[in-house]
Structure 1
């Protein structure tokens, strides 16, 4: 799906020309993507390129459907395009690279906007409210006990862009900030709060005994004492 503001499905020939999809995502950082297409002089991809459909700041939504269920992998904007020409007909390559919607939060320097008598998580939700038109839903969880200072003594002023300011506040209290695309195309959850992955850790595999290649434990009994030996 692509578009200047609200993305819509691309023509089938564009899907057919897609040769590679790459999406990278790490908690607490901007997610990125890259798409590669083959194209010829009279191809639909070439015509869309000439019309500006692959220009920077165009919105891109990458989603896959498996067994009738749609999973959104990326909702972002194009930041760069590269063309690799070929002397063979229809073998030229168009590569587009981009970031998630946090890139739109990083364009304008809004230094100086005051936020009196507001805790950090409330400031985050107030800032993110302006991106609701893009389907961004804020979820800000206090990383610690909120402290509200007397605005007559001191109040917080924004420094830099929305993205840099929100990220700096997250680092200051040991929190993380990132966008989680979905659950439906055109929607994203903007999470600001404790790193949940560190709170709960990764799931452990089930103990499996006497199950051929899936066995990961071997039980034994030695001198009346039970022991458990890892196989992996």
Structure 2
């Protein structure tokens, strides 16, 4: 079968920035083998599209309204296991790469990649689905991923999520945590969303309680006084 005889690759775009979605749609529309069949601006909208359209590829941004990217990926994989999820983000974060690939993403690409690289990635995850996951991140992130050891403490939380949770347990606000860890408040919120999902918690207090019971963090009474 020649490339001209192959069915089109059906793509859904999920990003809360309309201008970016427009740009990606226009870019992909110049390739005859691609068809953008749906667009979403939140996690729930993305899942609804996946359930209804069963696209070949979901191009997913990380920071959108909704349950968080990892939860969206897991649910998308459950309802449409044939859909290949490609993460397209500005975040060059080893912990995030690890978590989203673990959730079921087949590629993690930075939004700074070239047009041809994005086209090649979308084509590759569909035409060659058995190959290794695709990464387009910094060399530092790849090296840190290579150095990561399997977690032996029985928790699904990443090291950064544990840091956020410990500071949350110290009654720090999102702004204070962001300042302490040199990250944005949006990133803190994303980590908390992932923490809630992994611990099946409904609030900060609930997450702290469950993490303490599971010995992931120390009880407050065991912590050194800050005074």
Band of TM-score, shorter chain: under 0.3
TM-score, scaled to structure 2:
0.23
Structure with the bigger percentage of helix = 2
Q: Report the structure, 1 or 2, having the larger strand content.
A: 1
Higher relative contact order (CA 8 A, sep 6+): 1
